[in-house]
């Protein structure tokens, strides 16, 4: 009986931990998007990998250096970023995060609203997640 209780307890702890990891990553993802809106470049720098590939729905792909430069110069300004239907698939230290996004952004001072399907690839480094790659396509 004690073995059964111990096994049940360990199974429960393991299941709760997996949910916690997903929730932690989802919070990190949402936090990152809000740092884009607030232009907290020090946070963005910490939340992205040096090899970042940041793909937009029009085919434009930015490196980390380009993204940081475009944000700091005002070439691109995120006004709002809302996620819906977030799903996470973890595989070791990698995770794919898919969601629907409604993004209000200005590029070269031309404002637009975009309804997108987004895939982000996050990589765990130590005890934190960093964005490695992102690609978006227009949602129907």
The domain limits of the chain are 2-138
Strand order in the sheet with 48-55: 61-63, 48-55, 128-138, 110-125, 94-107, 76-91
Tell me, what's the pLDDT at 90?
95
Q: What is the pTM assigned to this prediction?
A: 0.82
- DSSP output for 100-122: EEEEEEEETTEEEEEEEEEEEEE
Say which residue, 68 or 16, is predicted with more confidence.
Answer: 68
Rounded CA-CA distance 58/126 in Å is: 34
Say which residue, 11 or 43, is predicted with more confidence.
Answer: 43
Looking at every residue in the chain, the average pLDDT score rounds to 90
3-state SS class at 50:
strand
> What's the CATH class of domain 2-138?
alpha beta
Span 9-19, mean pLDDT? 55
Tell me, what's the pLDDT at 6?
59
Tell me, what's the pLDDT at 109?
86
Specify whether the CB–CB gap between 78 and 54 falls below 8 A.
no
């Amino acid at each position: 009986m004690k073995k059964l209780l111990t096994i049940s307890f360990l199974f429960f702890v393991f299941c709760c931990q997996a949910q916690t990891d997903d929730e932690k990553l989802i919070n990190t993802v949402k936090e990152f998007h809000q740092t884009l809106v607030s232009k907290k470049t020090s946070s963005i720098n910490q939340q992205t990998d040096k090899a970042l590939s940041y793909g937009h729905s029009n085919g434009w792909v930015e490196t980390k250096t380009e993204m940081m430069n475009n944000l700091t110069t005002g070439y691109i300004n995120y006004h709002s970023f809302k996620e819906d239907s977030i799903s996470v698939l973890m595989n070791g230290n990698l995770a794919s995060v898919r969601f629907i996004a409604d993004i209000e952004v200005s590029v070269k001072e031309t404002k637009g609203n975009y309804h997108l399907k987004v895939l982000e690839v996050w990589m765990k480094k130590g005890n934190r997640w960093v964005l490695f790659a992102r690609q978006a396509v227009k949602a129907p």
